[in-house]
A and B are shown apart, each in its own frame.
Chain A
Amino acid sequence: AQSVSQHNHHVILSEAASLELGCNYSYGGTVNLFWYVQYPGQHLQLLLKYFSGDPLVKGIKGFEAEFIKSKFSFNLRKPSVQWSDTAEYFCAVNIKAAGNKLTFGGGTRVLVKP
């Protein structure tokens, strides 16, 4: 069965710092990759997604992620965070051969200090 691992459980940083969250998955076939974000008190929402094509994808709010197939990774980045980026971030994978079932990582809680 596929699995998704996120390297950090908690990240604390100051405004204007750069953010990079790691995500690795364990499946050798064709996958779709997602980053979801959950702001305090809100529901999960899609930040960005990769289906095919350019491995560098841009999402909302200045976030981007790079798919590196050889490393089975899909790391999320933002060059300069804001206090409003405080949230929990989840990486997720679905396998095209498995009917759109999403497998999530354990999440990374990000706290941005003003």
Chain B
Amino acid sequence: EAGVAQSPRYKIIEKRQSVAFWCNPISGHATLYWYQQILGQGPKLLIQFQNNGVVDDSQLPKDRFSAERLKGVDSTLKIQPAKLEDSAVYLCASSSLLGGESLSYEQYFGPGTRLTVT
């Protein structure tokens, strides 16, 4: 089965510019996640979608970050305007319900987009 696809793989922009990342999850996966991974740290969840609805965006800096998942498949994450501290790898992951009442979803990660803000 095809994995999670992300593009672009690398992006360099100047501060105050805008940037957008794209993610295509594994076919049939209802849940999609965007994580930010700053160098030397573990990934941090930015936003979680269930189909095309937002489940958790409590750690998304909403003054500059936005995300959407139209039609419950692909998703885009946008930063406008970018700051130096946004330099990070942005990871997309997807998961599907493993069954019953359990919320034990396994998440599959894409290769990430490495953003450098200068």
Residues of A within 8 A of B (CB): 4, 9, 32, 36, 42-46, 49, 51, 90, 92, 94, 96, 99-107
Contacts and interface: CB of A to CB of B under 8 A. Distances in A.
B27 interface: no
Contacts, number: 62
6 contacts: A32-B103, A44-B43, A94-B104, A96-B103, A101-B56, A107-B40
Given A99-B48, A101-B56, A106 B41 contact: yes
B25 interface: no
B96 to A, nearest CB: 11
B44 A104 contact: yes
Given A51-B102, A96-B103, A43 B112 contact: yes
Contact of A43 (B31, B56, B105, B109): B109
> Chain B binding site: helix, strand, loop or mixed by DSSP?
loop
Contacts of B40: 9, 106-107
A109 to B, nearest CB: 9
Interface residues of B, number: 27
B56 A99 contact: yes
Contacts of B48: 99-101
Contacts of B42: 4, 90, 92, 104-107
B18 interface: no
Given A90-B43, A107-B42, A100 B109 contact: no
Contacts of A102: 33, 43, 45, 107
Contacts of B87: none
A81 to B, nearest CB: 22
A94 B112 CA distance: 21
Contacts of A92: 42
B26 interface: no
Interface in B92-115: 93, 95, 102-112
B91 A99 contact: no
